[in-house]
Structure 1
Amino acid sequence: MQRITNSPNSWRFFKKLQINIPFAEAFEQMSLNAKFLKELMTKKRSWRNDETVVLTEECSAIIQHKLPQKLKDPESFQIPCIIGEITVENSLCDLGASINLMSLAMMKRMKIEEVKPARLALQLADRSFKFPHGVMEDLLVKVGDFIFPANLMVLDIEEEAKASIILGRPFLATAGAIIDVQKGELTLRLHDEKMVFNVFKAMSYP
């Protein structure tokens, strides 16, 4: 075994060092993150069988591909995120949505073949109904340097729809989100750290 000394070469050695262990096991070895993740997993809302979930007008417009050219607000709150190896540049943050949604096309790009059945109906703003393909549980959503677990309903949305992922109240609550409409800012918090997104400017770190 090579002896590691306190030198610049040793530091370069550690920077190149990779540990191939399951993500869950790595979190267990970091007590603070493990405790935080465990609390999030146990507090996530579950859906009842045959439940009907009412969606907002904007969420419905995206699903039905009827988004108008101009909305009442100057901009929607959208953030970039990474799920697995897929980067989503414009994930819609919707406080009016009681669930998180992902398009079926996005799920296929992630090469996920099986999802948990979801026996519920989604009621759109025009009172029509759509039925989800299923639900993906405990997906890890990376936003900047933060990672949050989330359940996402999978729905067959047209590929050219504006947003392939909608992050509703469950995700925003998990991420400790604070929305300032006047400033056009969305703040996400993890422990004592925070990250600010501005709909008018590029992402900034306080």
Structure 2
Amino acid sequence: MENANPPSTLGSFPQEPLDTTHAKFTARINKLLTMRQTIDSLLFKTINEMTNQSSDSEIFYPEERIKELELRTQRRNNFEEELFRNSFPTEKELAYHKELLGEPQPPFSTLEPKIRRGDPWSLKIPCVIGTVYMGHAYIDLQSPVNIMSRAYYNKIKEKPFQARRNPYQPYKFCNFVGRAKNMHIFIGCFVYVVDFMILEDLGSISDGGLREVVLGKPFALTSKLTYDESLGLIRFAQKDDEVVFRMPQRTKELDLVSPLENDKFEAFFMDSLKVKKIGFKHIIEKRKGYYKACMNLRHSYKRDRETIEKLKTNHISIIKLKE
């Protein structure tokens, strides 16, 4: 006898055939694979476009890109130099040079400068700064800064410094003008890159007639300068090469010359054992070609004709300049 009440199906779901479920699953997988292929093709196309664009710009537009990079570098350097040139003396510098922020010293000033005319202890060396020859670059081993006059700096650089007026008294000028960064100094066959403080007048530092360049402790540390006080020798050495100067006050030939007349003589080049071992008979042979590199500096340096003639007369070979 059949049961009158069929079993209840409450809470159960009708089951689909296995073929239908498999077909839906396969369709969904195919759809996902198609989407993935579409995304991969778009990414591949984008990467190809970016690669072609960068390679084209490198192949077909190298000069424009180089000019753009040079312009960016120049702007950054100009910004850094502007910040550097306007930085005022530090407390350490002012403690040693107390008159740096004052006014330029008048000719009748009674200040006693640190470097005086006729002083046998005043050290000096011949060198080339930029492309300008300097026969008497004085050295103060205690000064915390390298110092240069504004007039001399303007002879070296194409972009000159302007005089700095006192903001509280505009009709007066400040002695401190600014700072110069990365100045090239050629001494013998060596080159050094140092910074300078630029002053309107060096009357508080060096005596009259000597107010051009005073090299301080930063230069001595950079160049590893050594000074033999008993013999009056200044030595610059790098590896197996060296440049030696003797102060003119220490030579017997100048004993009868007055101290003031001594200031007109440059420090003398000295022969050394290393020079003779290399094969040079005289130091003048070693000087040939010393200052060739200073003639090929960037355009920010002026080409000083007097320096070129000076080096030529000293039998020093000069690379021909393009006018």
- TM-score band, normalised by shorter chain: 0.5 to 0.7
C-alpha spacing 1:152/1:91, structure 2 compared with 1 (3 Å): same
Match of 2:179 among 118, 135, 155: 135
Aligned to 1:51: 90
Give TM-score scaled by structure 1 length.
0.58
* 2:138 alignment counterpart: 92
| RMSD across aligned positions (CA) | 3.1
CA contact (8 A) 1:94 1:167 kept: yes
TM superposition score normalised by structure 2: 0.39
1:157 matches 2:226: no
Structure with greater strand percent: 1
**Mapping of 1:183-198 within 5 angstroms?**
183-198=231-246
* Aligned counterparts, 1:158-173, within 5 A: 161-173=209-221
Residues 172-198 of structure 1, C-alpha deviation per residue, up to 9 Å, x if partnerless? 111111111111111112233221111
Letter in 1 for 2:236: L
Helix, strand or coil at the partner of 2:269: coil
- Which structure is larger by alpha-carbon Rg, 1 or 2? 2
Q: Structure 1 unaligned segments of length 5 or more: list them.
A: 1-47, 116-129
1:138–1:151: 8 Å Cα contact kept in structure 2? yes
Question: 1:102/1:199 Cα in 2 relative to 1: closer, same or farther (>3 Å)?
Answer: same
Contact 2:179 2:198 in 1 (8 A): yes
Query: Aligned pair in 2 of structure 1 residues 95, 183: CA closer, same or farther (>3 Å)?
Result: same
Native 8 Å contact 1:80 1:89 kept in 2 = yes
Secondary structure at the aligned position of 1:171 is classed as: helix
Which deviates the most, 77-86 or 105-114?
Answer: 105-114
Map 1:31-42; keep pairs closer than 5 Å: none
Indicate if the aligned counterparts of 1:56 and 1:96 stay in contact, CA closer than 8 A. Answer: no
Check whether the contact 2:175–2:201 (CA below 8 A) recurs between aligned residues: no
For 1:64-75, what aligned pairs fall within 5 Å after superposition?
Answer: 64=105, 68-71=116-119, 74-75=120-121
Work out whether residues 129 and 186 of structure 2, in 8 Å CA contact, stay in contact via their aligned partners in 1.
yes
CA distance in 2, matches of 1:93, 1:150: 14
Structure 2 residue 119 is matched with structure 1 residue 80? no
Q: 1:163 to 1:89 in 2, by over 3 A?
A: farther
Distance 1:78 1:50, change over 3 A: closer
Higher helix share: 2
Moved more, 152-161 or 180-189: 152-161
Higher relative contact order (CA 8 A, sep 6+): 1
Alpha-carbon offset, residue 85 of structure 1? 1.8
Post-superposition Cα deviations, 1:57-109, rounded to whole Å, max 9, x if no partner, equal 9x9xxx857555543xx241100110122111100111110100011110111
1:141–1:148 CA contact under 8 A, matched in 2: yes
Q: Quick one: which of 98, 104, 121 aligns to 2:150?
A: 104
Mapped contact 1:82–1:88 kept (Cα < 8 A): yes
Percent identical pairs in the alignment equals: 22
Q: Structure 1 segments of 4 or more deviating over 6 A? A: none
